[in-house]
Structure 1
Amino acid sequence: MNKLEIVVASTRPGRIGPSVARWIESEAVTHGAFTDLEVVDLAEVNLPFMNEPHHPRLGRYTHQHTRDWSAKVAEADAFVFVMPEYNYGYNAELKNAIDYLHSEWQYKPLGIVSYGGVSAGTRAAQMIKQVVTTLKMTPAFEAVSIPFVQQFLDDDGQLVPNDVMTSSAKAMLDELVRLADALRPLRAPAGA
């Protein structure tokens, strides 16, 4: 089974991340390679800023919210981060969610769907790669970058993609499937 978790990084009021995530989810359903899809909204996960006393690599979590987050991340085979760009970088809530855990992220591929103004969130996307590779995640080269994202929202706030966005999403999903399959043996328990 291939489980894809689409993580909505923005938590601020008025955000458009959920609309972008719903579109990526529909693209993943159409793609068909991931048999299990879930949109995980960091606003709903609602993690406090890091409050665990032990280093995440130890897996000695003292809070239920951390144990729940650990289980959610551990069950995924691949991720897509739907992320805005704030002041040339990614948002603090996404960094916090990543930093809560350690081994749960390892040997899993990451697709990035970034959005923003003229840069389409590409500066934030580049910055996050330094963080996730430290956790042994593999970011896909193929990505979706949405410039001036507001222009792609209809009157109901739903994302209406253009052909470039749709073809980019397919290429990213194709690569996530290949990477998830290639990395699966590395995620197997030692001695399995």
Structure 2
Amino acid sequence: MNVTKPKTIKNMLGSRKTAIIEPSRSALIMIDMQNYFLHPDLSPDATAGRSIVNTTVRMVESARKSNMTTLWVNWGIDDFDLLTMPPSLLSDFSNGSNSMSETFGSEMKTVNGIEPGRLLWRGAWNSELYGPLKPLHAEGARLGTDHWFHKNRQSGLWGAQTPLGLWLQENQITTLFLGGVNIDQCVVSGNMAFLMFTICSLA
């Protein structure tokens, strides 16, 4: 593992005002910033989520300047996932109908001329990153600074062999910065422990 010059994070909230991190062993994780959760035609009430999009862009750009990787963790269901998902999770996303025709992979209705595709399905429009985040990720993928991880549970770290968990272990990542939608359940509830801070500024 290469070690770069440590960075000091300033102006942190709480009793600890600064922290020193190693960017090469740190990662910014952006969670579920997808059209399904943020686009006004699909989630009109998600005003708080849309309000942090510009902040998200600045966070990713700051991470890149500090040689820190950004990991985009998003729902991306496929046929195998449908076979292995617990019924309780399928029910949670069925709008109370408990029907497979309403849950993951079901065809969503056209909204204002938009064809959302299958619900949170890999490659569907509703699963794509929202607004300016899509080209932001594409640029990072081209530069090699950004990586994409599909998830099939609320948490990207729900088990010992998730793609995200394996990547973090293989790359010896010890510090995570979390941003995006529902970060309290979509990563933090995973069963792997990491040192986490609120990102404020990188000096």
TM-score range, shorter chain: 0.3 to 0.5
TM-score under structure 1 normalisation? 0.33
TM-score under structure 2 normalisation? 0.32
Query: Greater share of helix residues, 1 or 2?
Result: 1
| Higher Rg of the two aligned structures | 2
Using CA pairs below 8 Å that are at least 6 residues apart, which structure has the higher relative contact order? 2
